[in-house]
Amino acid sequence: MGEMQGKTVEIEVTNVAHGGVAVARHEGRVIFVSDAIPGERVLARITEDSKKSFWRAETLSVITASEHRRPHVWAAASIDRAPEDRAGGAEFGHIDIAHQRELKRQVLADSLSRMAGVTTEATVEALPGPHNGTGWRTRVRLQVAEDGTPGPYAARSHRVIAVTDLPLATPALAAIAPLDEKFPGSAHVDIVVPSVGNPFVLAGGATNADRGRAHRITERVGEREFRLDARGFWQVHQHAAETLTRAVQDAVDESLFDPRASNLDLYGGVGLLAAAVGDRFGNHVRITTVESDSLATDHAAENLVEWTGAAAVTARVEQFLRGLGATAGAHERDSLRRGTVILDPPRSGAGKEVVAELVALGPAQIVYVACDPVALARDVALFAAGGYELGGLRAFDLFPNTHHVEAVATLTRA
């Protein structure tokens, strides 16, 4: 612990950083500060000064407010509370929604410029829903305190905060959230409201061992239905699956798409984006969806059954690609080079190994669905070094009132 930790400082907030924090400087030192907005002057408490290059701080009060500041959409996360008592999960809730999107645009543009040398004019597109960015979550995980009380963690900690409402949740989810019940012995409580059928409240232990087929649910996207496990991955915003389906369909360059090539859907989950490609290009499409979760690939096989050329493979993506590279003959290599790859990695991005394997296979185009702008920018730079350039890019506000932003990028051989 350094000598500044716990000290209060008055700082000018200059710009936004990745991760839901703003940037300020104090005596030449960079400070990443939460609950502030660029342009504000705030009173903040230093929470971490052990790093030589920067400190972290939390806003205690606002001295000069931004014109974009509004009352927090979630009273439990308001600046009126002590920082340690503020609920986490809505870290942009004090910012006007249009300015939230502008800040997310800046983070995406700055990341691509700094890490990949790419300039983008992409704006962050809104999804349908209330104008203040509430009422969109169809899935919420509440943590459980030692006394059995459920709630979100406090921002940047593992302390459970009791709350009386969940404003980011859809009205249907908020109506069944067991906020005043106790769950002794559980690690967390999952509330899931699928678009078809009954909602679920699932108390769980510390592992995923309690996942099971007893909790199969159905999600509808347009005219298509997907089966999945209630605790399996699905987009959280009630309009996200449909938005990404259309965005991926639009991002694929038809002139480069060969339905009979070896098309791939990597980190494919239960087959949402593979089905998006299939629905755009017809039931003769060949596409293999790859996912490490065997329960998800079981469902993907079922969800993609109408495409005779579709297959669902359970494997880690890097191992699957390594195997392809090692075993593919001349005909299959040609088929892979003519192929389109849908790439939807976790927040950490695809990374060096997966990018290197893809570059070696040399597909005609890659549609990259990214939930982290810094990971995307890093991977775009890696692809550029391998001869791929960024073409189209769109960004979507899939997580209003948080710092998260989704992007869909198309990469083609330069």
249 is in an annotated binding site: no
Which one-letter DSSP state was computed for residue 282? -
Number of other residues whose CB lies within 10 A of the CB of residue 8? 11
Does the annotation mark 5 as catalytic? no
242 annotated among ligand-binding-site residues: no
Residue 62 neighbours by CB under 8 Å, 6+ apart: 36, 40, 41, 42, 43, 69, 79
Q: How far apart are the first and last CA of the chain?
A: 50
How many Å separate Cα 190 from the centre of its chain?
18
By CB atoms closer than 10 A (0-12, 13-18, 19+), residue 255 is: exposed
Closest CA to 155 of 47, 28, 41: 47
Query: Locate tokens 């209630």: which residue?
Result: 230
Contact 407, 52 (CB under 8 A): no
**Residue among 27, 32, 59, 33 at smallest CA distance from 44:** 59
Given 217, 310, 366, 371, the catalytic residue: 371
Is 85 labelled a binding residue?
no
279 is in an annotated binding site: no
Residues making up the binding site for S-adenosyl-L-methionine: 235, 267, 291, 344
Residues making up the binding site: 235, 267, 291, 344
Active site residues: 371
